Structures are given as structure tokens and as C-alpha cells.
């Protein structure tokens, strides 16, 4: 029983880290492209949302497969931790107020929803 609980925490931590590494890779490719091509700010905003969601999906699937149970909960936890860390980094980098705006709250809800679905998907992919 203790080993399953440990796998849950290790899977979640590794899922969040893998999600961040995926985000860094996507943003690195974007930075190289943006260096050579002028990119509109709306496209940048859209890319950040897509990179966030892809990273949450990847991290949630990994955490669910690692633990082998409660995929929706793994995805929920990965999404919340990922978003909180991302939000704290954005606060430090932009030195803005700590109040959650409606835009931030909607992004959090989307991350949580996508994380839960990806966690359930990760459990089902493990059986195949």
C-alpha cells in the first residue's frame, strides 16, 4: 500500500517536470522562429495556451500511467500544480499584482478540465 502512494507522488512530480520540459522545448522552438520571423502578439498568446495545454496533457498522461489508478485525480493535481508554478513564475517575471483575473481563472479551469481528461486517457492507454 505504501508503494502505491509513493508511486502516486513520484508520478505527479515527474509529470509536472516533464510538462515543464515540454513547455520549455516548445518555447525554445518558438523563440528561434520568432527571431527570424515577425510574429503577431495574438499568435504568441495562442501558442502559449497551446503549449500549456499540451504540457498538461503530457504530464497528466505520464502521471496516470505511472500510478496506474485514479487518472482523473492525477490529471487534476498535475494541472493545478503546473498552473500554480507557471502563475508564480509569471508574477515574478512581470512583477504584477497577485490577483487572479478572469483570464487567469478561465485558463486554470481549462487546464484542470484538460488535465482530468488526459489523466483518464492515461489510465486507459496503460491497459493497451
Q: What tens digit of pLDDT does each residue of 17-36 get?
A: 999 999 999 999 999 998 89
Looking at the structure of the chain, the number of domains it has is 1
Q: Mutual orientation of helices 71-94 and 41-67 as an angle, nearest 10°?
A: 140
Q: What tens digit of pLDDT does each residue of 83-121 get?
A: 999 888 888 887 566 667 788 888 899 999 999 999 999
Q: Where are any strands of DSSP class E within the chain?
A: none
Q: Tell me the mean pLDDT in the region 32-44.
A: 88
Cα-based distances in Å from 26 to 3, 39, 56, 76, 77: 34, 15, 13, 22, 22
93 versus 15: which is more confidently predicted?
A: 15
- How many other C-beta atoms lie within 10 A of the C-beta of residue 65? 20
The model's pTM: 0.86
Structural domain containing residue 71: 2-127
- How many other C-beta atoms lie within 10 A of the C-beta of residue 43? 11
Neighbouring residues of 108: CB distance < 8 A, sequence distance ≥ 6: 80, 83, 100
Amino acid at each position: 500500500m505504501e508503494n502505491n502512494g509513493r508511486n502516486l507522488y513520484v508520478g505527479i512530480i515527474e509529470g509536472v517536470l516533464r510538462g515543464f520540459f515540454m513547455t520549455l522545448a516548445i518555447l525554445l522552438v518558438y523563440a528561434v522562429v520568432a527571431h527570424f520571423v515577425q510574429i503577431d502578439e495574438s499568435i504568441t498568446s495562442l501558442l502559449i495556451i497551446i503549449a500549456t495545454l499540451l504540457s498538461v496533457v503530457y504530464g497528466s498522461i505520464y502521471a496516470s500511467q505511472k500510478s496506474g489508478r485514479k487518472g482523473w485525480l492525477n490529471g487534476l493535481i498535475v494541472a493545478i500544480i503546473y498552473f500554480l508554478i507557471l502563475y508564480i513564475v509569471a508574477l515574478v517575471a512581470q512583477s504584477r499584482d497577485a490577483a487572479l483575473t478572469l483570464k487567469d481563472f478561465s485558463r486554470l479551469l481549462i487546464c484542470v478540465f484538460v488535465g482530468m481528461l488526459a489523466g483518464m486517457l492515461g489510465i486507459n492507454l496503460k491497459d493497451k
